[in-house]
Amino acid sequence: SSISYKLIVPLNGVLTTDAQIIPPEAADPAKYSDGVRLKIWIDQPSNTVLFDEIFHSQDQHKLRFDLQQYASQEITLHFKSFPVNDTSFDYLFLAEPVVYSPQENPERIIMVFIDTLRADAMGIYGYERQTTPRLDTWAKDAGVFTQARSIAPWTLPSARTMVTGYVPEKWKKVPTLQQQFATNGWSTVFLAGNIYLSSTFGLADDWGEHRCINWPRVDVQIERAYDYMEEHSDRPILMMLHIMDMHLPYTEPSSYRYLFAGEPPKEAQDVLLGDAFNRSQVLKAIRKGSKEEQEQTKEYVRDRYDNNLRYIDDALTPFLKNFTKTDSIFIFADHGEEFWDHDDFEHGHTFFDEVVRVPFIAKTPDIEPGVYDHPISLLDLTPTVAYAGNVSIASTEGWALQELESHDFYSRPQAIGRVLYGEDGWASLYRGEKYITRAGKEESYNLNKDPGETKDVSDDSDNILRGRAALSEALDTPVKEGFRLYVNKSRISKTTTVKISSPSGFEDIWQGSDPTQRAKHKITESKDGTNFEAKWYSKQSRKREVFF
């Protein structure tokens, strides 16, 4: 195969690329390429061979060529691969071929994405336990935003908003942050540690480099970050550094295991096997014990969560001290974690603040250090990062936080939704009032007077009407009353069919969302639009709804 480029070489220009033979994933592991010859040459304005060698192994080869002699000239650059003998498995990949001018002190923007970190688990947000003493000190020279919220209570929709500045429903329809930075000559990398951040879900798109391994420890991620910065030390870098330690199953090193937590209660020890556990094991342990033992188990689980945060604090803060005042660091989360604040555990289930209020810390030249109480959103991350890099991007639904005084954040309604588990639902936030509509019920909370969301004030109809209006404005979608159908069993033993007819027809009919793709329900509409059939099949593992 071959590929050619015509380009004008910049001053002090160099060409870099990584070459590697990569067999298909389904290939017989006992068979491999007998070698691939790679030739790289320039034939205009003069014929010069830059590289002509044979690769035999599947090792990664880092290639770099000096193009200074062609500065300001138009050249035609060629890449061509040749088989040695047999062409089988001769899949040669060239990763991120770039021609650029090296810089001595290039700018770096690091987006530190700490998965599952609730804001009030950190000292700078009022937590009394010493979970983040180092980060608290580091953040004294940063902008700390106290009222930042996600757009969803789980990872995938939140991450899509992080890199677009749009609601996740517009994913694939709007440009990404990394794409627009790359167009401006930045080296871009996403170091991910969650399956929802993998190429399977499109989160590798547009990054110059994307590496995803599941549940890596923070020290592994930081080592990968150091390696990347060393390899790209002469180019500006946009890096998303994802940290997974706050997420179940809580895998802090043994030296942190007993920092805040002791042993699990005796009644729970046979369920919480080993030092790692999942949600179902925790809920099973809670069901087994007495009321006192249940509280002890809950406390133990929270203590383990805090162990991991202290581990992150100790590992991450020294890394952050490598950056200068011209660099920009952003620390944020996709969602928080619920510890029975509202009688549930983990995340993905609710819209309460323990799950959707997230930390947001910005250390960048154009944001003065201090504490900011403006109600901001993950929608604001992309325009803020673009402003920090002086990269002109397409308009977004979010606002740059460097321009706090130019926008009325307090009067901007926010929409939160897109649950992972349970019934569909939405919430809106406007001037300290949170409205939640879910499972046929509406709730309202005044966060200014009741930050713990303990008192539902939905008996005041004005609160409900304001919440609906805020949700409609935030989503740019009409909010109307409708009908909701569901089969009230977690596991259905028989196929269940519901037939609905309306002589005047239906304005809309739709199925409840199914992010895990484990539900089995189907809608069939009549041709004349006056009736439809909703069917739930037997043994489906999720309760899902139909709306009309």
- Tens digit of pLDDT for each residue in 268-307? 888 887 788 889 899 888 888 888 989 999 999 999 999 9
Q: What backbone phi and psi angles, to 5 degrees, belong to 22?
A: -125, 115
pLDDT exceeds cutoff 70 at 448: yes
Q: What is the pLDDT of residues 156-187, one digit of tens each?
A: 999 999 999 999 999 999 999 999 999 999 99
pLDDT reported for residue 339: 97
Task: Write a three-state SS string for 393-452.
Answer: CCCCCCCCHHHHHHCCHHHCCEEEECCCCCCCEEEEEECCEEEEEECCEEEEEECCCCCC
State both tokens at 71. 């500065």
Instruction: Specify whether the CB–CB gap between 285 and 271 falls below 8 A.
Output: yes
Strand bridging mode 357-363 / 484-485? unpaired
Report d(CA 183, CA 389) in Å as an integer. Answer: 13
Averaged pLDDT score across all residues of the chain: 94
Look at residue 20 and give its three-state secondary structure: strand
Report d(CA 328, CA 492) in Å as an integer. Answer: 52
pLDDT reported for residue 541: 66
Lowest mean pLDDT among 34-38, 113-117, 398-402, 534-538: 534-538
Angle at 547 between CA 543 and CA 548, to 5 degrees: 160
User: Looking up tokens 């000559």, which residue turns up?
Assistant: 185
Q: What is the pLDDT of residues 403-444, one digit of tens each?
A: 999 999 999 999 999 999 888 999 999 999 999 999 999 999
pLDDT band at residue 489, thresholds of 50, 70 and 90?
Answer: low
pLDDT band at residue 15, thresholds of 50, 70 and 90?
Answer: very high
Rg of the chain over all Cα atoms, to the nearest angstrom: 27
pLDDT reported for residue 477: 93
For residue 270, how far is the Cα from the chain centroid? Answer: 34
Report d(CA 259, CA 252) in Å as an integer. Answer: 10
Distances in Å between the alpha carbon of 471 and those of 160, 328, 416? 20, 33, 9
pLDDT reported for residue 490: 54
pLDDT reported for residue 126: 97
Distances in Å between the alpha carbon of 312 and those of 58, 160, 318, 346, 491? 34, 24, 10, 19, 40
Strand bridging mode 74-83 / 36-44? antiparallel
pLDDT reported for residue 27: 79
Q: What is the pLDDT of residues 84-130, one digit of tens each?
A: 999 999 999 999 899 999 999 999 999 999 999 999 999 999 999 99
State both tokens at 145. 């935003």
State both tokens at 409. 């954040």
Q: Which is nearest to 178 in space by CA: 233, 237, 242, 106? A: 237
